Structure 1
């Protein structure tokens, strides 16, 4: 049994669902297939919220993409009537012996992004719950904040369906076969055919190595929510008072969020992680002693009054490229297959803009902006590492 579509999206997480909505809205017969039922807790988009920043590491391509993504998130809010983006501000703190913000200040100024340079005394004055050594420095972005990731995916899913897309959940793709004019996508029971396919399989990208051998590896990551220490914290970490944050020093890079509605301060670690392969068991939070201990140590170091009782924890997946930059390109042999993967733990904020880019590429045959840093061809030399240029979500 075969069914014909204009576009099939394989993997309907944040990027795939955004693209599916954009494609269906433009009148294309669109099928989205996901191995689970998004939003779900098997990939990278669960656990709310995700940081959105604009003074970004990685150069002007990222800054311009972040600005466009912000515009698209606001449009999504207007279309759905839902609150998806909170402008809490984001405080980025670093040991200058490990990381300096210099280039990011210049890129931000060039693109009209508001930022402030802060020394340790000013950091402690504005946010008494933060403890940093005198030599540390910060870049504060007042217009940055966080997105409710699962609500965003749900919003795109609803709008995609209203625009005519078909969403096939709890369905594993068993094969993708490319041709010059059409691509077939097989599941256990049905084979679907389309003029174009979007491969946005997240941590399952290696499952399609026979189609595209991209050097994307998946790792297990954890995040935890901690209850501030009562009167010692005195509301210092509450949403509306405390910003989103990143901290970076020789021990690693961490990111987090204020306590939203009493949920606790959320913190995660951007670097590290335990390798995972599709089909392997996935260990839940708490399976390793370091799951809590590492996060707690970071809080004790930087936000000591937030290091109270662990309220909950969860494990998710990063899918990493060798250089931490994304893969957004067309297949080197089959331009009717669009590749979107390797978002390396910092991609969610861009999903609104990336969905738009994918739809532009399929509708018009062009990206509409320079995406050369995300090309598949760069993997021939394995790129260069920029670890530390970006911290967390």
Structure 2
């Protein structure tokens, strides 16, 4: 095997790709990771320091087994690194009676016997005085969930993968991909690399990369922002306040307690203007209208958290029409695994998706149920070239 020949190549070494590289290395595969940037970085969907991990899942109970396996793998990663990977803050969800999202989270907890406290508006305020809800609202608190330090997670996987012999080529866009039944060839400006197996996990750039293989997956990138507000530490500090996700009449929001005096962090899930990743100004931060969305939410439900803005950041979500992920083999080349459409609720699964991708690449199958993520599902067929 030559110096540019590998058992497996991963194109896109962000959240899923970096985890996949690590799990490939654990199976002894000679592995190369190629990324257009130098992960962890600020150009994709993993920056901004923190992500929520929930086990009781409002997006569908099919995700629960994967969330539990992901948590196990994050806990294992914590044992392998000095980086802080996970903090068990608990996660609170709330919304008005009839919220389908909250109802599904509760139903999923019952089906899988998860720890979940059911609370009414007054009980929520009694436990967390910084939250004020109208009558008729309800909530669910999951004590075993919490916060992942996303950039630390990627950094830890990278260090461990490199320790295991994985090669990483950063700041190197892929220019072309050629594939047949038993090999792939990856061309960059400077080199050509070959491998038996390929994983594509290029985030917001997936449409361009998958285009080399004549696959058109309906993926929509949108500009998203998160904002940190100066807030009362006695009410919103991480030693007593949880991460949260909420489904209220004005929208779907998520947020984090103040970690190390950073301020309460909040974002809105169900907004975002369509945008190409190369044209999002991540250095500028947020616009007044970005702040307005979340400030109004805080003034309504967490008024003592609506202080001065400490910082704001822009990133990108890339989602499928049904907001479920894509994790599947190429329909014509079974030696190519594809991972796409994770933004919004995907990072928590990066550990288990990395494990799954390594299994798909090396074995052509996985023990995890990923049928909901099929490339051939009806929701993806709106694009006439979806299967190449």
Which TM-score band applies after superposition, normalised by the shorter structure?
A: over 0.9
Match of 2:225 among 197, 222, 227: 222
- Are the aligned partners of 1:98 and 1:250 in contact in 2 as well (CA < 8 Å)? no
Match of 1:29 in 2: 30
Match of 2:43 in 1: 42
Q: CA deviation at 1:126?
A: 0.5
Match of 2:216 among 210, 213, 216: 213
Q: CA deviation at 1:283?
A: 5.6
Q: Deviations over 1:196-219 (max 9, x none)?
A: 111000011121242221111111
Which sits farther off after the overlay, 160-169 or 110-119? 110-119
Q: CA deviation at 1:279?
A: 3.8
Cα separation, partners in 2 of 1:234 and 1:350, compared to 1, 3 Å: closer
Match of 2:143 in 1: 142
**What SS does the corresponding residue of 1:198 show, helix, strand or coil?**
strand
CA distance in 2, matches of 1:360, 1:283: 34
Q: CA deviation at 1:191?
A: 1.1
In the TM superposition, what are the counterparts of 1:304-315 in structure 2 within 5 Å?
A: 304-315=303-314
CA distance in 2, matches of 1:283, 1:192: 31
CA distance in 2, matches of 1:309, 1:58: 32
CA distance in 1, matches of 2:196, 2:91: 42
In the TM superposition, what are the counterparts of 1:180-195 in structure 2 within 5 Å?
A: 180-195=181-196
- Are the aligned partners of 2:318 and 2:343 in contact in 1 as well (CA < 8 Å)? yes
**What SS does the corresponding residue of 2:238 show, helix, strand or coil?**
coil
Match of 1:72 in 2: 73
Match of 1:106 in 2: 107
Q: Deviations over 1:265-288 (max 9, x none)?
A: 000111111111244353645563
Q: CA deviation at 1:295?
A: 1.8
Q: CA deviation at 1:340?
A: 0.5
Cα separation, partners in 2 of 1:315 and 1:90, compared to 1, 3 Å: same
**Which segments of 5 or more consecutive residues in structure 2 lack a partner in the other structure?**
383-388
CA distance in 1, matches of 2:60, 2:379: 22
Which sits farther off after the overlay, 97-106 or 155-164? 97-106
**What SS does the corresponding residue of 1:376 show, helix, strand or coil?**
coil
Cα separation, partners in 2 of 1:286 and 1:24, compared to 1, 3 Å: closer
**What SS does the corresponding residue of 1:256 show, helix, strand or coil?**
strand
- Are the aligned partners of 2:58 and 2:101 in contact in 1 as well (CA < 8 Å)? no
Match of 2:60 in 1: 59
Q: CA deviation at 1:290?
A: 0.9
Q: CA deviation at 1:351?
A: 0.6
- Are the aligned partners of 2:11 and 2:202 in contact in 1 as well (CA < 8 Å)? yes
Normalised by the length of structure 1, the TM-score is 0.92
Q: 2:377 aligned with 1:378, yes or no?
A: yes
Q: Would you say how many aligned residue pairs link Structure 1 and Structure 2?
A: 379
**Which segments of 5 or more consecutive residues in structure 1 lack a partner in the other structure?**
384-393
Match of 1:9 in 2: 10
Q: CA deviation at 1:234?
A: 5.5
Q: CA deviation at 1:250?
A: 1.8
Q: CA deviation at 1:379?
A: 4.3
**What SS does the corresponding residue of 2:100 show, helix, strand or coil?**
coil
